Structure 1
Amino acid sequence: MTYPFPNPAIAPMERQQVRDGLLLTAERWQRAHDYQRKRQNLHYQSINQPGIVCGLGVRVIPAPEEVAAQYRDNRWVQIQPGIAIDLEGNPIIVPQQINFRIATELKDSEPVTVYLVAQYRDPDRLGESSDREIVQETFRIDEKSRPPNRSDVELCRVLLRSSEQKLLCTPTDIFFPGYGDLDLRYRRQAQAKPQGLVQIAQINSDDEDCSRNFFNLTYLLRAVEDIYPSLKGAETVAQVTWDEDIYPYELLYLTGHQGLSLNNHQLSKLENYLKSGGTLLVDAPAKSTELIQSVQAIAQYLKTPLKSLQEARRDHPLRIKPFLFSALPTVDGTKIQLFSGGGIILAIGNIGGSWGLDEQLQRSRTEIRTAQELGINILHFAWKRKQTINLQSEH
């Protein structure tokens, strides 16, 4: 399982052993301080995720008067004072306003996304010798043309295009910034780390309906963090075929109308995927008889016949975790039916069709929310299943 921010390295910690008569040297004192810092960072990285604590706003400004004439252009922003914490728990404290010039060179062909980030800088690692008793921990503001790495804290991003008369500007619509507009939508806030991350891949095939709910999968993943913060959905939904690598994903999503036909290699791959903790969700419309029967046949072949949720234990995780369902929801007049066994979940009734917006924008909020809560139960089941099986496996 891959988290957006990794757990600390599994390595024993060592500390200074203190005894009477021990000579206090700078090296030993530094070792004691380093231990406390590492312990603090271990604690933060274990239960929290990096991000902005407060402030660090970014705004477009005219070029400062004191800069050389060649740099007096429309490339300047001002970063406001604030605090952030990086991946390892190091504080990034910006005590005063900073004027910063975006220096990325633009070509005439393609737009370029520039990322403005803050980074922690340990004065002990800067290579500067100092006789001062007190040194100030510092930071660096940098711009990148690639997405920030895990040690960066993103302040803003901007999509630049050389043809724009005004290179940088304040967006007229902060939710839908355009070329040259400062985009602050992707700033992360420092907060508690979710218990787990669920990665989804849609199975593509020659069935023309295999992608009909693709965008609704994205809606579901976005809803997870708001409805059930202990779980987080991956930022994107992958698309794979049976012949590609399916093992990184907690959940494979398959829909359509055609029957599921797998050759021996693909069938063996599915069996190994399920044994490794993966979950296959088949979202079948009520009238897709071929798909329903083929999935039931595959489950029988794998010796894990599907059992209706109505016949399962009342405390089955699909029914109670994290949301409690007595009766399953109704989608477009059809009551959803759930069958499960051996890591395969067969949902009859097109539950994925209610995870997002319908074309006519007529679906009620209650119907969407109820369907999303059942979807989160499925995601939680997939995450917990893989986590528990992995804990009992050799690594």
Structure 2
Amino acid sequence: MKKTLLFLLFNVVILTLGAQEIAVLKYKGGGDWYSNPTALPNLIKFCNKHINTKIDEKPRTVEVGNSDIFQYPLVYMTGHGNVFFSDDDAENLYNYLVSGGFLHIDDNYGMEPFITKELKKVFPNATLVELPANHPIFSNAFEFKNGLPKIHEHDGKRPQAFGIFYEGRLILLFTYESDLGDGWEDPEVHNDPEHVRQKALKMGANIVKYAFEN
């Protein structure tokens, strides 16, 4: 086990050194991890144009328990329904995050009760804490003075950004009641006004920039 962990830690240092790639997280439990298929490619195009990234416009898919996750400095997770992490999944995800990886979980509606339960397997002693509006992730590229923007309406709740920290570093971001991914999708999918889509894309660019630089 120690040799495996050292190997994975070595890989994350080497493979993410200067890397600028994003992967979609595939998880078990029956939830639609594949939802919003045009979202991430559109966000990547926006980032490559506006914050000078050089990300492959065709994001890869990586499974929670696969060591390939260590190749990506940022992994994006979304969906509407159930999520399940096996013990091996939880261990792999933990090692990835504490070794320098970053996970953005974007609740596409209905995901919250499942993901919060499964995150306890990954971080038994940590809790999701709400990020204040003055956190750098809301201003590092584009300014969001009020914090996470509201993109898609579901239950009339305010948008909230929660995080898990490790040794002072934000390693996991959970965006709730915002639905950024809907705003990243092609315009005709949700018919969101352009100014709403721009807010979503700009906030997404902030997340990408933060994940790559911290």
Give the TM-score normalised by structure 2: 0.77
Q: Which residue of the other structure, out of 173, 180, 184, is the alignment partner of 1:351? A: 180
Determine if the alignment matches structure 1 residue 366 to structure 2 residue 195. Answer: yes
Report the secondary structure of 1:293's partner residue: helix
CA deviations 1:252-300 (Å, max 9, x no partner) are 1111233432222221111110111101111113433433432553464
Distance 2:121 2:65 in 1: 17
TM-superposition CA deviations, 1:128-167 (whole Å, max 9, x none): xxxxxxxxxxxxxxxxxxxxxxxxxxxxxxxxxxxxxxxx
Q: Aligned partner of 1:332: which letter?
A: H
Of 215-224 and 279-288, the range deviating more from structure 2? 279-288
Superposed CA deviations along residues 301-343 of structure 1, whole A, max 9, x for unmatched, are 1x33221113x7x2x2211111111122111235431111131
Matches within 5 A, 1:83-232: 197-206=19-28, 207-229=30-52, 231-232=53-54
SS of 1:201 mapped into structure 2: strand
Report whether the alignment pairs 1:279 with 2:99. Answer: no
State percent identity of aligned pairs: 25
Larger gyration radius, structure 1 or structure 2: 1
Which amino acid counterpart does residue 81 of structure 2 have in structure 1? Q
Which amino acid in 2 is paired with 1:246?
A: I
Structure-2 change in CA distance of 1:198 and 1:275 (3 Å): same
Structure 1 CA distance for aligned equivalents of residues 131 and 151 of structure 2: 17
Higher relative contact order (CA 8 A, sep 6+): 2
- CA 1:246 to 1:358, structure 2 compared with 1: closer, same or farther past 3 Å? same
Cα distance between partner residues in 1 of 2:187 and 2:27: 23
What stretches of structure 1 of length at least 5 have no aligned partner? 7-195, 386-395
Structure 2: gaps spanning 5 or more residues: 1-13, 166-170
Aligned pairs for 1:226-245 (under 5 A) are 226-229=49-52, 231-244=53-66, 245=68
Secondary structure of 2:70's match?
coil
- C-alpha displacement at 1:198, in angstroms? 2.5
Q: Given residue 337 of structure 1, which amino acid in structure 2 is its aligned partner? A: Q
Query: Does the 8 Å contact 1:197/1:232 carry over to 2?
Result: no
TM-score in terms of structure 1 length = 0.44
C-alpha distance after superposition, 1:36-59 (max 9, x if no partner): xxxxxxxxxxxxxxxxxxxxxxxx
Quote the RMSD (CA, aligned, Å): 2.5
Does residue 329 of the first structure (1) align with residue 149 of the second (2)? Answer: yes
